[in-house]
């Protein structure tokens, strides 16, 4: 029965929508009476499902980011205790970081390409110091100067 449910495209769209709104995958599995491990295995083996889950997690992380703004406003307006607000903000920041490390993580990934230009430099120097030859006759030779 679980495999039949997971064969339905609506099942996955519904999962991703609910995850993006804050529902855990385990909670969803319980409500749909589907084994969590089997569901996760299906996601890992299917690239499209894996990408869909990543997109849902990124959307959820942005929701946590918006929660930080909302809680900050509540603290500034004096509607909630600053210490309680700090706890909520730190929790949401951590959750956003776990869901979307690319945008909210502490580390940055930088791609750096290192190229040895020594040979290019030598070739350019040789070309600049070589005599200019037109039809077998030396027109300019700076080395003779």
Cβ(36)–Cβ(25) under 8 Å?
yes
In whole angstroms, what is the distance from residue 6 CA to residue 49 CA? 11
Residues 6+ apart with CB under 8 A from 22: 60, 63
DSSP state of 109: -
Q: What is the pLDDT along the chain (145 residues), one digit of tens a residue?
A: 777 788 888 899 999 999 999 899 999 999 999 999 999 999 999 999 999 999 998 898 888 888 889 999 999 999 999 999 999 999 988 888 887 777 777 776 778 888 888 888 888 888 887 767 666 666 665 555 5
- What is the pTM (predicted TM-score) of this model? 0.59
- Let me know how long the chain is: 145
Of 35, 37, 32, 38, the closest CA to residue 15 belongs to 32
H or E segment at 61?
A: helix 47-76
For the chain, domains (ranges, CATH) are 2-104 (1.10.10.60)
């Amino acid at each position: 029965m679980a495999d039949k449910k997971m064969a339905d495209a609506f099942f996955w769209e519904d999962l991703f929508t609910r995850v993006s709104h804050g529902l855990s995958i385990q909670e969803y599995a319980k409500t749909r009476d589907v084994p969590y491990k089997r569901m996760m295995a299906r996601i890992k083996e299917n690239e499209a499902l894996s990408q869909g889950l990543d997109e849902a997690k990124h959307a959820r992380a942005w929701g946590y980011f918006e929660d930080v703004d909302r809680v900050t406003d509540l603290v500034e307006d004096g509607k909630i205790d600053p210490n309680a607000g700090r706890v909520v903000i730190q929790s949401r920041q951590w959750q956003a970081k776990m869901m979307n490390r690319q945008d909210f993580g502490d580390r940055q990934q930088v791609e750096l390409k290192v190229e040895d230009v020594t040979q290019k430099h030598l070739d350019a120097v040789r070309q600049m110091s070589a005599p200019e030859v037109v039809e077998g006759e030396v027109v300019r030779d700076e080395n003779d100067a």
